[in-house]
Structure 1
Amino acid sequence: MDLVLIRHPAPAIDAALCYGSTDVPLAGDARESALALAARLRALEAPPPLYLVTSPLQRCAHLAGGLATELGCTVRVDARLQEIDFGAWEGQRWDAIDRAALDAWAADLRHARMHGGESVAQFEARVGAWLAHWREPMAPPVQHVHAVTHAGVMRMIASLALGKPLEETLTWPLEMAAIVWLRYEAMGGAGSWRLLHWNA
């Protein structure tokens, strides 16, 4: 099956602020962004989805609505596609957050919860459950899925699907409105994910 991940365009918020699970709108017009993304998907020859899955946060959901119209499919909201929750750090400037707390978080990236929100391990379990869902038998079978989500989710999916350390996928360039295309290929009783496009 093909899994096409779409990062939301730029949100209307200062990039210096921490805004993981904070629900902020898009900076630009969602309809125009949807038209541009649909054209890029056609240029990549991405397969048409049966439906489009989106994070509930408006910077994704508003784009998803317009994109579904362009692609001729329906939209499903899935909270597992929401960006990581940074707890008390949400809405704060990164450079205003206590340096010692940031250092302690970085030192134990997977399990630390200095902010009181989600740990990376909790985030991984949530996103991993969503990814595993698409390898389960479905009736009718779903061959192609498009998902509108966030950079953190896309990097986590790449880490899990490709067997790469998250520390590695965190360094891969990923622009606003970027497209990532993965393909799951079953071989007998097993299968594996293959990366077709990153940051397209």
Structure 2
Amino acid sequence: MQLYLIRHPRPRVAPGTCYGRLDLELAEPAGQAATRIAPRLPAGLPLWTSPARRCRELAAALHPAPAIEPRLWEMDFGLWEGKSWDEIGPAALDSWAADPAGFVPPGGESGLQVQARALDFVRELAQTGIIAAAVLTHAGILRALLAHQLQWPGQRWLELRFDYEQIVPLHFNRP
């Protein structure tokens, strides 16, 4: 199955803020981002999107009937949500960086939990017989799916970086 994983556009949030489940609006109108993204996608793809506003707004500008999929939400950072990286502090961030797959922020979820729900979605999608689809989501979901595909250990996950509006074509052959 061919997936076109799309990271949402830049959200309206102060630089240096931890956000995952915060439901942020986009920094610019979704239509502007859609005019940049649409030409880079094959025409007529079905589109699944995270329920996050920053994804839903773009999805509506890209597709007449996007499917909202809760398993595509970004990682839940728990008590870190909305705090600056400075407030979270270097000791906590170092713990996360040492094990991005297994570390659980207080009240949040681990990268492996994110990966499990994202893979559950992809496996279910593959069972429908769909050959290709666009998936509008977050860097954490892209990281979890690509790490699975590459068979990377959790310690390497943070090496995978994605720009806003980046499209990652992925022939998913390891459901």
**Fold shared, TM-score > 0.5 on shorter chain:** yes
Q: Which range moves more in the overlay, 87-96 or 127-136? A: 127-136
Distance 2:122 2:76 in 1: 19
Alignment of 1:22-37 (within 5 A): 22-37=22-37
Q: Any idea what SS the aligned residue of 1:146 has? A: strand
Secondary structure of 1:170's match? Answer: helix
Corresponding position: 1:154 with 2:142: yes
Q: Distance in 2 between matches of 1:36 and 1:106?
A: 33
- Residue type of the alignment partner of 2:162: L
Q: 2:77 aligns with which of 76, 80, 86?
A: 86
Task: State yes or no: 1:96 paired with 2:87.
Answer: yes
Give the aligned CA root-mean-square deviation in angstroms.
Answer: 1.9
Partner deviation per Cα, 1:131-153 (whole Å, 9 max, x = no partner): 222332x2xx3121101100110
Quote how far apart the aligned CAs of 1:167 are: 3.8
Q: 1:9–1:176: 8 Å Cα contact kept in structure 2?
A: yes
Higher relative contact order (CA closer than 8 Å, sequence separation 6+)? 2
The Cα shift of 1:83 comes to 0.3
1:132 and 2:126 aligned: no
Instruction: Looking at secondary structure, tell me which structure has more strand per residue.
Output: 1
Structure 2 Cα separation of the partners of residues 156 and 114 of structure 1: 17
Do the aligned partners of residues 151 and 40 (structure 1) sit closer, same or farther apart at CA in structure 2, a change above 3 Å counting?
A: same
The 3 A distance-change label for structure 1 pair 103 and 182 is: closer
* Aligned-partner residue type, residue 58 of structure 1: R
Per the TM alignment, residue 47 of structure 1 is displaced from its structure 2 partner at its CA by 5.5
Q: Secondary structure at the match of 2:140?
A: helix
Structure-2 separation of matches of 1:18 and 1:159:
22
C-alpha displacement at 1:61, in angstroms? 0.5
Q: 1:79-108: per-residue Cα shift (whole Å, max 9, x none)?
A: 110100000100000011143333333444
Structure with higher Rg: it is 1
Match of 2:56 in 1: 61
Q: What letter matches 2:14 in structure 1? A: D
Partner of 1:178: 166
Q: How much does 1:12 deviate? A: 0.5
CA distance in 2, matches of 1:108, 1:170: 9
Gaps of 5+ in 2: none
Runs ≥4 residues deviating over 6 A:
none
Q: Give the number of aligned pairs.
A: 174
1:126 alignment partner, SS class: helix
Identity rate, percent: 38
Question: Which amino acid is 1:94 matched to?
Answer: W
Give the match for residue 196 of structure 1. Answer: none
2:100, 2:158 within 8 Å by CA — same for their partners in 1? no
Superposed CA offset, 1:102-135 (max 9, x none): 3333444333324211122222211121122233
In the TM superposition, residue 169 of structure 1 has moved relative to its aligned partner by: 4.5
Q: Going by fraction, where is helix more abundant, 1 or 2?
A: 2
